């Protein structure tokens, strides 16, 4: 009842409108259209998924949400590494989220042998794995001319809730209209990491939704956790070849 009374307070509507205007003004700090970079001859691989998928296991024995949000990117990136190095300087950009800070780096989640307690935990954990993968890959690519960074696009009004109940989708849509970024605005930090001159030569870092360097969670910076996740991932996607790092694997 107290929450309901607050929503009917005469100042609620004007305060909400003022806040939405402030958030809208802040979220467009860097505009891709103003980027002076000549894209000819440039190469960038951008991987990212924000799927509202159920906690199910695929016929291949992989967790559907972890395969979509993380393992698919891991495999694609590794298969393209030789081409990326041949076209260096080149960039790899992984779309993570600020919610990675609440994630868990449990490799048993990848195969569905263990399940996160809910969708939020699963989503947060996939985004943590995106950052761990970025940091470990940057270490393996030192001296190759290929850089890799992760980023948060912020809160974006997408179809991520498509598999939820109608009232959750409605609530998300209403909140999205007032407070969330449009898909175009949500792509700014991704584009910034992929093409901006400011990111040239930077690798193994994490950028926030305002295109600023930020410090990811302590777990995301743990090299031992990153190596363990890498080893488990390469086995699950078939890249494990007796100890040789997939970063040197030849593309067929």
Q: How confident is the model over 120-130, as a mean pLDDT?
A: 92
119 occurs within a structural domain: yes
CATH number of the CATH domain containing 85: 3.40.50.720
Residue burial 96-115, b: 16+ Cβ < 10 Å; e: rest: bbbbbeebebbbebbbbeee
Percent of the chain past pLDDT 90, that is, above it, reads 39
Domain containing residue 143: 40-248
- Measured distance CA(55)–CA(118) in Å, rounded: 8
Regarding pTM above 0.85, the answer is: no
Q: How confident is the model over 100-122, as a mean pLDDT?
A: 90
- Per the structure, how many domains does the chain have? 1
Cα-flanking dihedrals φ and ψ of residue 13, to 5°?
-65, -50
Instruction: Supply the DSSP symbol for 70.
Output: I
Per-residue pLDDT reduced to its tens digit, 37-90: 665 656 666 766 666 677 788 888 888 889 988 999 999 999 999 999 998 999
188 occurs within a structural domain: yes
Q: Of residues 70, 123, 192, 206, which has the active-site annotation?
A: 123
110 occurs within a structural domain: yes
199 occurs within a structural domain: yes
- Crossing angle of helices 223-236 and 119-140, in 10° steps, is 100
Q: What is the dihedral of CA 4, 6, 9, 11, to 10 degrees?
A: -140
pLDDT of residue 56: 84
CB 203 within 8 A of CB 147: yes
31 occurs within a structural domain: no
pLDDT of residue 32: 58
Task: Tell me, yes or no, if 70 is annotated catalytic.
Answer: no
pLDDT of residue 25: 52
Where residue 247 falls among pLDDT bands split at 50, 70, 90?
A: very low
Residue 229, both tokens:
């996740």
């Amino acid at each position: 009842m107290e929450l309901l009374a607050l929503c009917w307070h005469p100042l609620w509507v004007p305060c909400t409108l003022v806040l939405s205007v402030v958030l809208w003004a802040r979220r467009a700090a860097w505009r891709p259209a103003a980027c002076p970079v000549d894209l000819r001859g440039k190469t960038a691989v951008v991987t990212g998924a924000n799927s509202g998928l159920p906690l199910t296991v695929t016929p291949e024995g992989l967790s559907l949400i972890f395969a979509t949000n993380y393992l698919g990117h891991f495999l694609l990136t590794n298969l393209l590494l030789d081409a990326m190095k041949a076209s260096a300087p080149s960039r790899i950009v992984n779309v993570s989220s600020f919610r990675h800070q609440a994630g868990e780096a449990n490799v048993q989640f990848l195969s569905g042998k263990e399940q996160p307690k809910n969708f939020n935990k699963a989503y947060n954990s996939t985004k943590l794995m995106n950052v761990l993968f970025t940091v470990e890959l940057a270490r393996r690519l030192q001296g190759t001319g290929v850089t890799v960074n992760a980023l948060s696009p912020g809160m974006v009004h997408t179809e991520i809730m498509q598999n939820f109940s109608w009232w959750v989708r409605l609530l998300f849509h209403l909140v999205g209209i007032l407070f969330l970024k449009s898909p175009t605005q949500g792509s700014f930090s991704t584009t910034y990491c992929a093409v901006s001159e400011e990111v040239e030569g930077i690798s193994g870092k994490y950028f926030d939704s305002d295109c600023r360097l930020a410090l990811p969670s302590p777990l995301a910076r743990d090299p031992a956790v990153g190596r363990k996740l890498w080893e488990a991932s390469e086995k699950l996607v078939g890249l494990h070849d007796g100890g040789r790092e997939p970063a040197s694997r030849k593309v067929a």
